[in-house]
Chains A and B, each alone.
Chain A
Amino acid sequence: MEPELIEKYVKEGTLRIEWRDFPYRGEESVNAAVAARTAQAQGKFWEYHDMLYYNQSSGFSDENLIALAREAGLDTKRFESDYKSARYGGAVQADFQKAQNLGVPGTPTFFINGKVLVGFQPLEVFEKAIEDARREAEGG
């Protein structure tokens, strides 16, 4: 997410950002999503999430995902156990199902107070959508 949006809208309390998994590109997509939710269970979702994006080119084999957990400072033994048991896979599956129900066509897809934006967008598009949503929420 654009740091400018966080600086401008999240910090002042206008905007809340929520992540949902839509791992539609096969097994490694699912593995990465489950690994991120496994990191979430140790309170490090966002750190791990960012590391996944920075390390996309390495691929998301089990070994790579566990190595990233080590690098992120997670309890690696617990991470490996939770990841291999797919302990948090249900959270990923629930998001995926919800996305399908909503007709999400690909990633990234954004919903801003329910209004959809598909694909990467210029900052100004997000700013306008957030401002419009704020006005609507405030009854303007």
Chain B
Amino acid sequence: MLLILVALVAMVLAGCDAAGSGSSSQASEERASQSAGSSGQKAEDTGSSEQATEVRLGHPSFGSAEAPVVLTEYGDYQ
């Protein structure tokens, strides 16, 4: 009985850890997104090589995030 109780507590704690790291990750993505366009000049999101295989980047941009006019350029390098 005691073993079952210990196992249940361990599962609950593991669940809390997973949820906690998930929201932390989401919060840091939101921070990265905000900082990408919040100030004057060229803004870029950055990623770390140690993270997941596919990493989401923001759109490269420059200029104020508060600018009333946004020019979006679709381009090809060739």
Contacts and interface: CB of A to CB of B under 8 A. Distances in A.
Interface of A: 1, 5-6, 9-10, 13-26, 28-29, 32-33, 36-37, 40-46, 49, 52-53, 56, 60, 78, 81-82, 85, 87-91, 95, 99, 104, 107-113, 126, 130, 133-134, 137-138
Contacts of A32: 77-78
A26 B78 CA distance: 9
Contacts of A20: 59, 72-75
A42 B37 contact: no
Given A10-B63, A29-B78, A90-B54, A40 B46 contact: yes
A15 B74 contact: no
24 contacts: A10-B62, A13-B40, A15-B67, A16-B61, A16-B67, A17-B70, A19-B59, A19-B61, A20-B72, A26-B78, A29-B76, A32-B77, A41-B45, A41-B47, A45-B42, A46-B44, A53-B77, A60-B78, A85-B53, A88-B47, A89-B54, A90-B56, A109-B74, A130-B71
Contact of B42 (A13, A46, A95, A126): A46
Contacts of B45: 40-41
The secondary-structure label for the interface of chain B is loop
